[in-house]
């Protein structure tokens, strides 16, 4: 029975043209990770649900894809629970495993399990897909890649400086002009402390994080709704509307946060990271953004976010410093700092700006036409020499009409077609056609290798 095939919603196939573009991004990121001494790991797609559950909040638990146990999955499950139809309670009884939701929790689990084999500080990168049972929409997928780099086991701010250099190098190589925004959780804590509402740090940051979108007046209104006094709001206002150079902002900020030890520590950390980055030089803009919050409950120090300057799109990279990555798995005291490149958004930015190099198509450099067995045999012999010289080459496998054969080279973006016909077979020469210019030249095999190398 013939089926009309489809794929699950929110998932994607990648065609050769798309793969070539994606590989260009991943290869660029991977090269830079290696250049900075980060080492790759991989973890299984499936994790035990006990590893994943409770790590992403109640909403996150619902978004985990769960794997039905094999075989007799109802055995031992309370019949009353089955009859009750209580799916959230029943699911963990039917499923022991789930698909990973991000790379951070599996990484934490990895660090704990392999801690005796790892050398700390441990600098790892990981490029793998993750799965979320989110409602699919434009730009949001149920399967997508994450590209994470983290340093664990070191409190040094040199790590932040290195990660910022790494971000700068990746986007310079990709040709994307970026602004790297920095903040520090301690500055946010300092603000909350300053207005006498340290326990309201989440309320405050959720509100001020929206200033770019909704404007100052609406932020003030929201702060008021969230229970802040007029006086508190007045004290916050100059902080969230800092202006001038980064140096000017830092010096204003240290005055405004003078009464908060935590706040001043945050300012000092920001200053060290920003000055270190400036000394080394960056092609990206670096911007102190006191309103930047990103996953606040997770980060404990530096917060990093990267925006593309020439395309309106959300952040294309983010990260920060966290304490106690592995505490939940029984290994306290492991802190770290990391970043995550958003491959899908970077892909969109490169597409929008048409920034791909010309030669990433991934097809062969030259296709030999096929005029029959003798010509094909000669072609294969020459192709073997080309490949030995590192030139990707192929032959049209069938003796089809010339139009069809040339059509394939066109469709795949193969830049050259080599022709061995009767006369070439006789004299040992090859006719090489440049598919862009249409120019044709007869040449020896040695000349062919030079022309294509």
Q: Under rule CB under 8 A, which residues in 120-139 are in contact with a copy of itself?
A: 120-121, 123-124, 129, 131, 133
Q: Comparing C-alpha atoms, which of 141, 130, 60 is closest to residue 101?
A: 130
Among 26, 36, 56, 356, binds a copy of itself (CB under 8 A): 36
Residues 183, 289 contacting (CB under 8 angstroms): yes
Q: For strands 122-131 and 39-40, give the pairing.
A: parallel
| 3-state class (DSSP) for residue 278 | helix
Nearer to a copy of itself, 93 or 442 (CB): 93
104 is in an annotated binding site: yes
Residues 405, 369 contacting (CB under 8 angstroms): yes
Q: Comparing C-alpha atoms, which of 151, 174, 96 is closest to residue 302?
A: 151
Report the DSSP beta bridge partners of residue 178.
308
Torsion angle of the four alpha carbons 237, 243, 245, 246, in this order, in degrees rounded to the nearest 10:
20
Nearer to a copy of itself, 150 or 289 (CB): 150
Residues 112, 43 contacting (CB under 8 angstroms): no
H or E element at residue 445: helix 445-452
347 is in an annotated binding site: no
Q: Comparing C-alpha atoms, which of 41, 47, 106 is closest to residue 329?
A: 106
Kindly identify the residues of this chain, within the stretch 136-155, that bind a copy of itself according to CB under 8 A: 142-143, 151, 154-155
Tell me the closest approach of the beta carbon of residue 28 to a copy of itself, in angstroms.
Answer: 14
103 is in an annotated binding site: yes
What track of x and - describes contact with a copy of itself for positions 90 through 119 (by CB under 8 A)?
xx--xxxx-x---------xx-xxx--xxx
Size of the site for a copy of itself (CB under 8 A): 115
Q: Rounded CA gap, 122 and 105, in Å?
A: 16
User: Using CA of residue 177, residue 274, residue 306, residue 20, what is the dihedral sign?
Assistant: positive
Nearer to a copy of itself, 126 or 260 (CB): 126
Residue 283 interacting with a copy of itself (CB under 8 A): no
Tell me the closest approach of the beta carbon of residue 419 to a copy of itself, in angstroms.
Answer: 16
Residue 72 interacting with a copy of itself (CB under 8 A): yes
Nearer to a copy of itself, 73 or 450 (CB): 73
Number of neighbours of residue 113 by Cβ within 10 angstroms? 14
Among 66, 185, 220, 294, binds a copy of itself (CB under 8 A): 66
Residue 42 interacting with a copy of itself (CB under 8 A): yes
431 is in an annotated binding site: no
Residue 14 interacting with a copy of itself (CB under 8 A): yes
Measured in degrees and rounded to the nearest 5, phi and psi for residue 387 equal -65, -35
Among 243, 255, 411, 436, binds a copy of itself (CB under 8 A): 411
What track of x and - describes contact with a copy of itself for positions 415 through 434 (by CB under 8 A)?
--------------------
Nearer to a copy of itself, 236 or 274 (CB): 274
Among 397, 401, 403, 446, binds a copy of itself (CB under 8 A): 397
Q: Which stretch binds a copy of itself (CB under 8 A): 216-224, 296-304, 305-313, 369-377?
A: 369-377
What track of x and - describes contact with a copy of itself for positions 339 through 368 (by CB under 8 A)?
-----------------------xxx--x-
Residue 225 interacting with a copy of itself (CB under 8 A): no
Residues 379, 370 contacting (CB under 8 angstroms): yes
Alpha helices in 176-260 (DSSP H): 185-194, 201-208, 211-214, 216-225, 230-240, 246-256
Among 61, 193, 197, 394, binds a copy of itself (CB under 8 A): 394
Residue 192 interacting with a copy of itself (CB under 8 A): no
299 is in an annotated binding site: yes
Residues 304, 319 contacting (CB under 8 angstroms): yes
| 3-state class (DSSP) for residue 6 | coil
Residues 130, 45 contacting (CB under 8 angstroms): no
Binding residues for L-histidine: 102-104, 132, 146, 150, 294, 298-299
């Amino acid at each position: 029975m013939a089926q009309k095939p489809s794929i699950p919603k929110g998932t994607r196939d990648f065609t050769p043209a798309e793969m070539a573009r994606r590989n260009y991004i991943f290869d660029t990121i991977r090269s830079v990770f290696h250049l900075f001494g980060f080492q790759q790991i991989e973890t299984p797609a499936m994790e035990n649900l006990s590893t994943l559950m409770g790590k992403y909040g109640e909403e996150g638990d619902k978004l985990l894809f769960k794997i039905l146990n094999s075989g007799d999955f109802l055995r031992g499950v309370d019949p009353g629970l089955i009859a009750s139809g209580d799916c959230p309670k029943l699911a963990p009884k039917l499923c022991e495993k789930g698909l990973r939701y991000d790379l951070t929790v599996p990484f934490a689990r990895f660090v704990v399990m392999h801690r005796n084999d790892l050398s700390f500080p441990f600098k790892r990168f990981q490029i793998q897909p993750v799965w979320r049972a989110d409602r699919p929409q434009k730009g949001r997928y149920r399967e997508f890649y994450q590209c994470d780099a983290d340093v664990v086991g070191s409190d040094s701010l040199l790590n932040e400086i290195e990660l910022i250099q790494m971000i700068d190098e990746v986007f310079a190589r990709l040709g994307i002009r970026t602004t790297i925004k920095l903040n520090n959780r301690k500055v946010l804590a300092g603000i909350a402390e300053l207005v006498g509402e340290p326990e309201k740090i989440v309320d405050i940051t959720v509100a001020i994080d929206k200033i770019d979108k909704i404007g100052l007046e609406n932020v003030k209104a929201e702060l008021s709704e969230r229970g802040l006094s007029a006086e508190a709001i007045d004290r916050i206002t100059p902080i969230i509307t800092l202006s001038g150079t980064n140096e000017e902002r830092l010096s204003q900020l240290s005055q405004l946060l003078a009464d908060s030890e935590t706040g001043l520590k945050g300012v000092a950390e920001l200053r060290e990271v920003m000055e270190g980055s400036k000394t080394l030089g960056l092609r990206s803009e670096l911007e102190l953004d006191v309103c930047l919050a990103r996953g606040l409950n997770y980060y404990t120090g530096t917060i990093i976010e990267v925006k593309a300057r020439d395309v309106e799109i959300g952040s294309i990279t983010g990260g920060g410093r966290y304490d106690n990555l592995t505490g939940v798995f029984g290994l306290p005291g492991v802190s770290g700092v990391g970043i995550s490149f958003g491959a899908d958004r970077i892909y969109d930015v490169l597409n929008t700006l048409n920034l791909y190099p010309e030669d990433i198509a991934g097809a062969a450099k030259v296709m030999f036409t096929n005029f029959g067995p003798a010509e094909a045999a000669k072609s294969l012999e020459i192709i073997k020499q080309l490949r030995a010289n590192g030139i990707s080459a192929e032959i049209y496998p069938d003796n089809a009409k010339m139009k069809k054969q040339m059509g394939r080279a066109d469709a795949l973006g193969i830049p050259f077609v080599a022709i061995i016909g009767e006369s070439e077979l006789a004299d040992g020469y090859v006719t090489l056609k440049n598919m862009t210019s249409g120019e044709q030249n007869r040449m020896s095999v040695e000349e062919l290798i030079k022309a294509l190398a």
